[in-house]
């Protein structure tokens, strides 16, 4: 049995407990000893971050060999056409190799999340589109780089799922503790 923390990481919070530049870190929100992030989420991204007190579980979540799917809701500039969406699933050439999404879906209704602080500029909101992007890899800033490569820079990125774990009604800055069985 291991402790697992599901945390809704707010915008502009580091996925670590300390920072020499005095930026917000996990320590501002989580005051539990001996739990560590299982993977990362960029400073300027929001959403689900998992933490655990168990090294085997941490490795299972973070190690790309297990190919846990990660779901992101992404607000992008403009409206990608079907060719752009297909390119994301066929593969986009990045500096560190080809990156492919498992699935990309154009959302017809904007998701309901609390407004980000600071909010997206009104001029961008009027011409932006929301996508659901599912990956089973975890390269640095992968979603942002893939979408920029097809001409649709990311305005807001929120991870909603890692494997079986979801945000499940958490608000930014909130966390829930669970006890889980270690994967076999």
Show the tokens assigned to 103.
């699935």
Grouping H, G, I as helix, E, B as strand and the rest as coil, residue 23 is coil
| From 19, 24, 42, 54, the catalytic residue | 42
* Cβ-contact 175, 8 below 8 angstroms: yes
Show the tokens assigned to 129.
């589109």
Q: How far, in Å, CA of 102 to CA of 80, rounded? A: 17
Q: Is 134 exposed, middle or buried (0-12, 13-18, 19+ CB in 10 A)?
A: middle
Q: Residue 19 catalytic?
A: no
At a CB cut-off of 8 Å and minimum separation 6, what does 73 contact? 47, 107, 111, 113, 130, 131, 132, 157, 158, 160
Q: How far, in Å, CA of 21 to CA of 2, rounded? A: 32
Q: Any idea which residue has 């490569």 for tokens?
A: 149
Residues marked as catalytic: 42
């Amino acid at each position: 049995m291991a402790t697992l923390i599901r945390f809704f990481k707010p915008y502009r919070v580091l996925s670590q407990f300390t920072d020499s530049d005095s930026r917000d870190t996990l320590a501002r929100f989580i005051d539990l000893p001996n739990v560590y992030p299982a993977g990362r989420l960029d400073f300027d991204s929001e959403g689900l971050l998992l933490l655990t007190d168990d090294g085997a579980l941490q490795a299972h979540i973070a190690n790309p060999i297990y190919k846990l799917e990660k779901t992101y809701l992404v607000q992008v500039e403009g409206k990608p056409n079907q060719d752009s969406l297909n390119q994301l699933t066929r593969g986009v050439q990045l500096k560190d190799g080809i990156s492919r999404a498992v699935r990309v879906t154009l959302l017809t209704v904007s998701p309901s999340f609390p407004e980000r602080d600071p909010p997206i500029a009104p001029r961008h909101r009027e011409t932006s589109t929301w996508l659901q992007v599912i990956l089973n890899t975890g390269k640095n800033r992968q979603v942002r780089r893939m979408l920029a490569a097809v001409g649709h820079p990311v305005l807001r990125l929120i991870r909603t799922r890692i494997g079986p774990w979801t945000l499940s009604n958490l608000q930014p800055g909130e966390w829930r503790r669970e006890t889980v069985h270690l994967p076999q």
